[in-house]
Amino acid sequence: MIKVAGIKRGTVIDHVTAGKGLWIFNKLNLASLGHPVVLLMNVQSSRLGRKDIIKIEDYTAVDTAMLGLIDAGITVNIIENEQVVNKTQVSLPQVVSGLFACGNPRCVSNSDHYVTPIFALYEAHSRAYLCEYCEEVTKVAWK
Amino acid sequence: MLNLRGRHLVSPSDLTLAEIDSIIALAQDMQRQRGNYSELCRGKILATLFYEPSTRTKLSFESAMLRMGGSILGFSDANASAVAKGESLADTIRVMDAYADIIVLRHPKEGAPKLASAYSRVPIVNGGDGGHQHPTQTLTDLLTIQAYKGRCSDLSVAFCGDLRYGRTVHSLIETLVRYPGGKFYLISPEELVLPLRLREYLQRTSSCQIIECRSMEDVLPHIDILYMTRIQKERFFNEADYLRLKNSYILDAAKLSLAKQDLVVMHPLPRVNEIAYEVDADPRAAYFAQAEYGVYVRMSLMAHLLGVTS
């Protein structure tokens, strides 16, 4: 089994559904972050069977809203002095700003490039969000 | 008169029922005693920024401001303005709010007035944004209902035609369900039903009865108000769909004979062919009076948002 050392300070994104790690790596743009990053894929997990893990050294500002949209099973651990100082179970965010486009082609947020689309969670089980501008519902396809 | 000075009106839900009542009450007084208000907005400037064509909304706002002694400026063709040079809505609003005391915005993009309100120091009034909202038409409709029925509660109201893209319908029904005792019939072809989100919202937030149907004749004997709408060519991406649906519902004298004698027939205008001209002479036809009420309600709204009193 591959052994990867722990990190002294940073973030461990754990319990990622196997196969989504690379997608999250790209969505969070970790390649250009400038910090050491490890992506582990298909690691054995008692909870999931198999899982992916991402470790980022010296960086703690990960976008938990985006992680919640991608995989609500993810745990984010913040590490200081090799200890977990904060553990967060991500969930679908109540408010989302700028992470996806409004599904309504007539919405002003799709035509005026300087507008940041803003959504409020409308219905969790269908992953539906209500656009602050046009009040139409967009269902987030990420999963 | 309630104080609404400096407020924006993007959606009817921006107003409480008490605030709507205040606007309607002042509008009724303005209709009765128009001369008392002829100097109310002396020195005030209204900017009408119309990014898509409009006749009655634009002219009724301009008439309303002129009848209160104010002045008007603006454009009705985005292609002839700085917009054609590529200016963003945000920049246009930031410039215009130095030129005017209140701005009315009509825009084809849904949510544009909400965006504009974030950049404006003066009140923004939504004059219609795509298929989304048209709050001043709603105020006009409420004033008409109040004038004909003496109340906005405990009424059976049928909405007929394009309920999918018809923003006047969206704004009015969202507001009417806030009054108690309403019963609403939604008459439209399958392709033009009320948007799902709005239907769910109505069902979740009100105890009103909402009945979807396809036949106008079945509903006519049971209703107090018939709200007709035009099938809007400009909302269709596909002309073939428009041609197939445009004659779905036409109100004529024969159909009207099925209705109550005190029915009120409303229409936001312009009509194409959904109300036969023979209906115009029927005392139940309220749509031209409705257009006149639009001036008084816009006078009252602007007086409220500008915080001017007689």
Active-site residues of B, by number, are: 56-57, 85, 106, 134
- A104 and A69 belong to one structural domain: no
Which tens digits make up the pLDDT trace of B46-64?
A: 999 999 888 889 999 999 9
Find the domain containing A30 and state its range. 10-89
Q: How far is A132 from chain B (nearest CA, A)?
A: 8
Q: What percent of chain B has pLDDT over 70?
A: 96
Q: How confident is the model at residue B187, as a pLDDT? A: 94
Residue B1 domain flag: no
- B185 and B283 belong to one structural domain: yes
Residue A2 domain flag: no
- A103 and A83 belong to one structural domain: no
Residues A98, A116 contacting (CB under 8 angstroms)? yes
Identify which of A115, A122, A136 has the shortest CB distance to residue B115: A115
Q: Provide mean pLDDT across the span B140-169.
A: 94
Q: Provide mean pLDDT across the span B217-221.
A: 96
A108 and B111: CB-CB below 8 Å?
A: yes
At A53, which helix (H) or strand (E)? strand A49-57
Phi, psi (degrees; rounded to nearest 5) at B237: -85, -20
- A116 and A75 belong to one structural domain: no
DSSP secondary structure of B105-133:
EEESSBTHHHHHHTT-SS-EEEEEETTTB
Q: How confident is the model at residue A5, as a pLDDT? A: 80
- A30 and A67 belong to one structural domain: yes
Q: How many domains are contained in chain A?
A: 2
Residue of A nearest to B131 (CA): A106
Residue B84 domain flag: yes
- B167 and B283 belong to one structural domain: yes
ipTM for the predicted complex comes to: 0.84
**pLDDT interval class at B235 (50, 70, 90):** low
Residue A1 domain flag: no
- A117 and A77 belong to one structural domain: no
**pLDDT interval class at B135 (50, 70, 90):** very high
Residue B177 domain flag: yes
Greater pLDDT, B247 or A60: A60
Q: How confident is the model at residue B234, as a pLDDT? A: 65
CATH classification at residue B82: 3.40.50.1370
Among B75-79, B80-84, B242-246, top mean pLDDT goes to: B75-79
A135 and B89: CB-CB below 8 Å?
A: no
- B111 and B144 belong to one structural domain: no
- A83 and A109 belong to one structural domain: no
Q: How far is A107 from chain B (nearest CA, A)?
A: 5
- B193 and B248 belong to one structural domain: yes
- A20 and A83 belong to one structural domain: yes
Which tens digits make up the pLDDT trace of A93-116?
A: 999 998 899 999 999 999 999 999
Which tens digits make up the pLDDT trace of B265-287?
A: 999 998 988 999 999 999 999 99
Whether the predicted pLDDT of B114 surpasses 90: yes
Phi, psi (degrees; rounded to nearest 5) at A139: -95, 125
Q: How far is B3 from chain A (nearest CA, A)?
A: 26
Residue B73 domain flag: yes
B111 and A109: CB-CB below 8 Å?
A: yes
Identify which of B89, B109, B197 has the shortest CB distance to residue A107: B109
Residue A5 domain flag: no
Residue B5 domain flag: no
CATH classification at residue A82: 3.30.70.140
Residues A54, A39 contacting (CB under 8 angstroms)? yes
Q: Hey, of A102, A104, A106, which one would you mutate to test binding to chain B, going by the most B CBs within 10 A of its CB?
A: A106
Residue B2 domain flag: no
- B25 and B37 belong to one structural domain: yes
Quick one: DSSP state of residue A55? E
Q: Provide mean pLDDT across the span B287-299.
A: 97
DSSP secondary structure of B36-85:
GGTTTTTT-EEEEEESS--SHHHHHHHHHHHHTT-EEEEES-GGGSGGGG
Greater pLDDT, B61 or B76: B61
- B116 and B183 belong to one structural domain: no
Find the domain containing B51 and state its range. 12-133+292-306
Spatial distance between the Cα atoms of B233 and A139, rounded to a whole number of angstroms: 28
- A19 and A80 belong to one structural domain: yes
CATH classification at residue A109: 2.30.30.20
- A71 and A119 belong to one structural domain: no
Q: How confident is the model at residue A56, as a pLDDT? A: 96
Spatial distance between the Cα atoms of A89 and A77, rounded to a whole number of angstroms: 9
Q: How confident is the model at residue B237, as a pLDDT? A: 62
Greater pLDDT, B285 or B206: B285
> What is the value of pTM for the model shown?
0.86
Q: Is the dihedral of CA B104, B109, B113, B119 positive or negative?
A: negative
Spatial distance between the Cα atoms of B26 and B32, rounded to a whole number of angstroms: 10
Instruction: List chain A residues with CB under 8 Å of B88.
Output: 112, 114
User: What is chain A's pLDDT, residue by residue, as a tens digit (143 residues)?
Assistant: 677 788 999 999 999 999 999 999 998 999 999 999 999 999 999 888 999 999 999 999 998 988 999 888 999 999 999 999 999 999 999 999 988 999 999 999 999 999 999 999 999 999 999 999 999 999 998 65
DSSP secondary structure of A73-99:
T-EEEEEETTEEEEEEE----SEEESS
Q: Provide mean pLDDT across the span B73-89.
A: 81
Which tens digits make up the pLDDT trace of B6-53?
A: 999 999 999 999 999 999 999 999 999 999 999 999 999 999 999 988
Residue B7 domain flag: no
Q: How far is A114 from chain B (nearest CA, A)?
A: 9
Q: How many domains are contained in chain B?
A: 2
B170 at interface of A, judged by CB pairs closer than 8 A: no
B115 and A108: CB-CB below 8 Å?
A: yes
- B144 and B161 belong to one structural domain: yes
B111 and A134: CB-CB below 8 Å?
A: yes
Q: How confident is the model at residue A55, as a pLDDT? A: 96
Identify which of A122, A133, A137 has the shortest CB distance to residue B110: A133
Spatial distance between the Cα atoms of B12 and B135, rounded to a whole number of angstroms: 5
What's chain B's average pLDDT? 92
What lies within 8 Å, CB to CB, of B144 at 6+ separation is: B264, B266, B286, B289, B290, B293
